């Protein structure tokens, strides 16, 4: 590969970037980390985790703490230990009371387990969606990575063909100048040479385009 790229005489920056591309597994990991969809799905998973926690703790909303303060005159019985006589007395005083109450509607009691199950299924669904998207990202990066390598190879092939036709064109031009070949042969070789240049430029354009797409997928620019 290094020897082939050394023969390419155009867009050396693109070729240098390709030679310095990180390994495929690094590109895949980077694409997953930088994917906006994966970030969104991670947030969705966290949201569902909080939802499960909230549903499980919903019963606490039925708990209540009550308290009261009563001020007034209260009657009470008093017995004289010496005579055994009982009298009714009254006294002004303040009384305090506190308590905890639980109000659990029948519907909430029956439906709570179902709500927890639904929230758990939503969390599992979010996990499955994330796994599927990761698989799709892996496939995209793998396909694009090998597309870059293929286009790189095609650029090398078309460059060799261009260089070969350039040498032939120089010989044909010399022969034509010396009157050794007809104009038709010179025109045919000129067309062949021009086509080799066009094919090379097309291949180089495809290489550049595929490389840019790969960089967009993985979320960073390759350094060289």
CATH no. for residue 37? 1.20.1600.10
The tokens for 161 are: 């063909």
Residues 68, 69, 72, 75, CA torsion sign: positive
Q: Is residue 42 part of a domain?
A: yes
Ranges assigned E (strand) in the chain: 63-79, 86-102
Q: Is residue 223 part of a domain?
A: no
pLDDT greater than 50 at residue 8: no
Domain hosting 131: range is 2-60+108-218
Residues 144 and 199 in one domain: yes
Q: Is residue 224 part of a domain?
A: no
Q: How far is it, in rounded angstroms, from Cα 51 to Cα 44?
A: 10
Percent of the chain with pLDDT over 70: 68
Burial class of 139 by CB neighbour count within 10 A (0 to 12, 13 to 18, 19+): exposed
Q: How far is it, in rounded angstroms, from Cα 143 to Cα 145?
A: 6
Residues 82 and 167 in one domain: no
Residues 94 and 195 in one domain: no
Residues 200, 204, 206, 207, CA torsion sign: positive
Question: What mean pLDDT is predicted for residues 185-196?
Answer: 91
Residues 128 and 162 in one domain: yes
Q: How far is it, in rounded angstroms, from Cα 181 to Cα 175?
A: 6
Residues 150 and 174 in one domain: yes
The tokens for 218 are: 């993985």
Residues 139 and 45 in one domain: yes
Residues 49 and 68 in one domain: no
**Residue 36: what pLDDT?**
92
Mean pLDDT, all residues of the chain: 78
Q: Is residue 190 part of a domain?
A: yes
Residues 165 and 72 in one domain: no
Number of domains in the chain: 2
Query: Could you give the 3-state DSSP secondary structure of residue 223?
Result: coil
pTM over 0.75: no
Condensed to tens digits (0 to 9), the pLDDT of residues 68-104 reads 545 455 555 556 566 655 655 555 555 555 555 555 5
Q: Which of 48, 79, 102 lies at the terminal end of a domain, its last residue?
A: 102
Q: How far is it, in rounded angstroms, from Cα 142 to Cα 130?
A: 18
Residues 93 and 145 in one domain: no
């Amino acid at each position: 590969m290094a020897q082939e790229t050394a023969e390419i005489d155009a867009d050396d920056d693109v070729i240098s970037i390709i030679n310095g591309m990180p390994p495929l597994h690094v590109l895949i990991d980077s694409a997953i980390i930088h994917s906006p969809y994966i970030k969104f799905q991670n947030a969705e998973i966290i949201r569902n985790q909080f939802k499960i926690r909230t549903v499980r703790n919903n019963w606490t909303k039925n708990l209540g703490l009550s308290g009261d303060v009563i001020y007034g005159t209260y009657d009470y019985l008093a017995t004289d230990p010496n005579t055994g006589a009982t009298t009714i007395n009254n006294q002004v005083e303040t009384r305090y009371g506190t308590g905890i109450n639980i109000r659990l509607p029948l519907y909430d009691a029956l439906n709570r387990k179902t709500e927890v199950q639904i929230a758990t299924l939503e969390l599992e669904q979010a996990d499955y969606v994330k796994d599927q998207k990761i698989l799709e990202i892996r496939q995209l990066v793998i396909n694009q990575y090998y597309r870059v390598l293929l286009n790189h190879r095609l650029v090398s092939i078309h460059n060799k063909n261009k260089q070969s036709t350039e040498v032939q064109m120089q010989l044909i031009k010399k022969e034509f100048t010396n009157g050794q070949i007809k104009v038709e042969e010179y025109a045919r070789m000129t067309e062949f040479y021009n086509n080799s240049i066009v094919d090379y430029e097309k291949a180089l354009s495809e290489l550049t385009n595929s490389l840019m797409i790969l960089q967009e997928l993985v979320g960073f620019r390759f350094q060289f």
